[in-house]
Amino acid sequence: MGIQGLLPTLKSIMHPRHAQEYAGKRAAIDTYSWLHKAVLSCSRDLCHGRHNDKYIDYCMRRVQMLRYYGVQPVLVFDGGSLPMKSDQEIKRARSRKENLERALEYERLGNHSAAYECYQRAVDITPAIAFRLIQVLRQENVQYVVAPYEADAQLVFLALNRHVDFVITEDSDLIVYGCPQIFFKMDKHGQGVGFQISDITANKDIDLSDFTKQMILEMCIMSGCDYLPSLPGIGVKRSHGLIKRFRTYQKALKHLEAKGVLIDPQYEQGFHRAILTFRHHRVYDPVKKEMVHLTGVPSELDTNLDFLGPHLPQTTATAIARGEVDPTTFESFQDFSSSGRLVADSNATVQNGVSNKKVGFSAKKNLPAINSSRTHQHHRSGSRPCFQLSDLKAALVSFLISWGLVCILLACNPQVESLV
C-alpha cells in the first residue's frame, strides 16, 4: 500500500520527466506495477484460467519503448510474501474471491459490464502469469530477476549497488527503502515524474532539510506502512512533526505517552521490526548469486530476523531469481501444456538446496537472471572488473546491429514512429 500521503507531500521535488532523459541508463522496473494495469485488459480470461497474451503485449510495448529511447530495462518480479504481510494477503484473497463470485453472478444475469468490472477486481497476479512474461523476456533478451521476497527491496538493492541507475515504479515505498533515483508513473509514451533523494532538502510542504535517511524511514513507518499500522490520528504531517522535534521514534513515542496517548506495548517492538524489515530485507545478489540482506546486518544485532522470511539456500535462491521455480511453492515451472495452460509439476521441487533433476527451465537454461558479464560491465564501484577489448567489440557490433534494425523498422513500420 506504500505510505499514504507521502508522494503528495513531496510534490515540490517531483519533476515531470520523459524516458528519453534517461537515455544510456539502466532501469530496474517494478514489474508488478505494470502487470497490475496490464491484466485489466484480459482479466476475464485470466480469472477463468485461460491464457491471453494481452498483458504480455502491454509489458513488451513498454520494454520496447524504453529501449527505443536508449534505456536498458531490467524487469524485477515479486517473490514470496513475508509473514508480516500475511493478514493483508488473506484480506486481498478474500476480496478477489468475492469479486469473482459477483462477476459470475452478473454474467449469469447478463450484465456483462458489471461482470467485467468485478473480473478486474478479482484477477490475481500469480507466479504463473509472471512466468509467461519471463518466457517472452528470455526470447527477447530482456534482463530480469525474480526477488526472493518483495520486489521493492530488490529494486533498491540493484540501484544502491549500481547494477541499475534508477527505478521505475508507482510505489512510494521505494523512497522508504532509500532508493536514490526513481521514475514514478511512467505512461506508455514515456512520460512520468522523476524523484531524486538528493533534492529532498529542497522540499517545500514538509521541511526535510535536516532529516537523515534514518529519520525519513522512521517518519514513514510512524505514519503507517505495510509492516505497521499507524497510531490513530497519525499521518505523514504529524509523524514528520514528531520526528523533526524528537529526532528518534523512541523519544517521539515517550513524548506521546507522557501526553497520555495509550500505546500498545507491542507497538514499539513492531516499530523496531519494521525498521529492520526496510533496512535488511532479503534480496538476491546477481553477482554473488546468493541471497543477501539489502544492507549488511550489524554483528551486534542479536535480534532474531525470522520475520524477514527464511534464508534460502543458494541453489533455491538462484532458481527463483531466474524464474525457474515458483517463489511461493518452490515448484518448477514447466512449459505450457498442449491445452495452453501453465502447469507446475508438483514432483519437481527444490528443497533445502537439493535440486530435483526436473528443476530448471529447459529452454535457454544458461541465460542468467541478470547476465553477470553484462552486470559487471555496468559496475561503477571500486569492484568494477576491467573492461575487456572483446566486450567493446561485442558492444560496438550489437550497437550497429541495433541501429540498423531501428532504421529498417522506421522505414517499414509506421507503428514504431508512433512511439516517438
**Angle, in degrees to the nearest 10, between helices 236-246 and 249-258:** 100
The Cα–Cα gap between 379 and 393 comes to 18
Least separation in angstroms between CB 109 and DNA: 19
Which residue, 6 or 74, has its beta carbon nearer to DNA?
6
Which residue, 232 or 260, has its beta carbon nearer to DNA?
232
Least separation in angstroms between CB 38 and DNA: 6
Least separation in angstroms between CB 6 and DNA: 7
Which residue, 53 or 335, has its beta carbon nearer to DNA?
53
Which residue, 4 or 334, has its beta carbon nearer to DNA?
4
Chain positions contacting DNA, by CB under 7 A: 1-8, 33, 36-38, 40-41, 54, 57-58, 120, 152, 170-173, 187-188, 223-224, 226, 230, 232-239
Which residue, 37 or 289, has its beta carbon nearer to DNA?
37
Which residue, 182 or 359, has its beta carbon nearer to DNA?
182
Contact criterion met (CB below 8 Å) for 327 and 284: no
Least separation in angstroms between CB 289 and DNA: 26
Which residue, 117 or 391, has its beta carbon nearer to DNA?
117
Least separation in angstroms between CB 86 and DNA: 13
Least separation in angstroms between CB 166 and DNA: 17
> Which three cell numbers, joined as nine digits, stand for 323?
524464474
Which residues partner with 26 through β-bridges? 72
Least separation in angstroms between CB 325 and DNA: 23
